[in-house]
Amino acid sequence: MITFDTLFTKDRIYISNKTNQKDIFMEVYQDLLKQNCVTKDFLRNLCERERNYPTGIDLAPIDPSLPNIAIPHTESQFVKTSGIVPIKLNHPIYFYNMIHPKEELPVSFLFMILNQDGQEQTSLLASIMDFINSCDKDELTAFFQMKDSEDLFNFLKNNFKGVIAND
Amino acid sequence: MIKILAACGAGVNSSHQIKSALENEMKKRGYQVSVDTTMIKDINQDKLEHYDIFTQIANSNLGFEINIPVVDAGPILYRIPTMAEPVYQELEDTIKKLGKK
């Protein structure tokens, strides 16, 4: 069952001042490792995956005023829990577009997916997209600009509803 | 039964999303569809021989020629009906061309 409480914790929300993908991944990885959420090989796999199969998502089709996001993740064997890790980027960085991998997108927010049991918990990505699709667009724009992790957490708590739409 | 292979980088998340969406929608349209998911790096020619259609998130270079129809299913991930519709339509057209039930 996908609910806010099972996927998000206050200790796993980040606001990064780093200016490149590698440094952001390193910063978050080191803390996730400390929290015993990922294995030592997580970072290497995360970087390799992002290079070969990028995860940037262009939000313009949803609303052209929204910044873009990315959903970095690894294979299940490198994580020890299931959840979604919000990472606000104070400096937008470029990710390649998941659907059009030759296109680069400036990305301002990451929803890193930790998916421990790939076969069973398949809807984490769907729950992120349903969150974005269901939010009021002005409120969502404000969310993406929040500077405080407590504010990010509370907005998610109030607006993240799990999987809403049927396929 | 139409057998489809859905692939993405990690073999979780995206490909499962595609599987669930395609199976539901094609059932509604009256087709019997079974979708397996895999990591892109685990695909080889032998594996593809067991499937009628290959669906991918983005254009993937597998390093060999794909001999079955390929449908790009990435837009489904947005979970917006108007974006998913062209993918469903292309898949339905592809199934019709195969002439299988």
Distance from CA of B79 to the nearest CA of A (A): 7
pLDDT digits (tens, 9 = 90+) for B15-49: 889 999 999 999 999 999 999 999 998 999 999 99
pLDDT digits (tens, 9 = 90+) for B45-71: 999 999 999 999 988 778 888 999 999
Q: Which of A71, A75, A85 is nearest to A35 (CA)?
A: A85
Strands A83-96 and A104-114 come out as: antiparallel
Phi/psi at A97 (5° precision): -70, 125
User: Residues of B near A (CB-CB distance < 8 A)?
Assistant: 8-14, 16-17, 19-21, 24-25, 39-40, 57-60, 72, 74-75, 77-80, 83
Which residues of chain A neighbour B61 with C-beta distances below 8 Å? none
| CA gap B97, A135 in Å, rounded | 40
pLDDT digits (tens, 9 = 90+) for A152-165: 999 999 999 988 87
Of B8, B20, B72, the CB nearest to A53: B8
Mark the ranges of chain A whose per-residue pLDDT is less than 50.
Answer: none
Structure tokens at A154: 């509370």
Q: Decide: A78 and A39 in contact? Cβ < 8 Å.
A: yes
Instruction: Give the ipTM of the model, two decimals please.
Output: 0.88
Kindly report whether the global pTM for this prediction surpasses the value 0.90.
Answer: yes
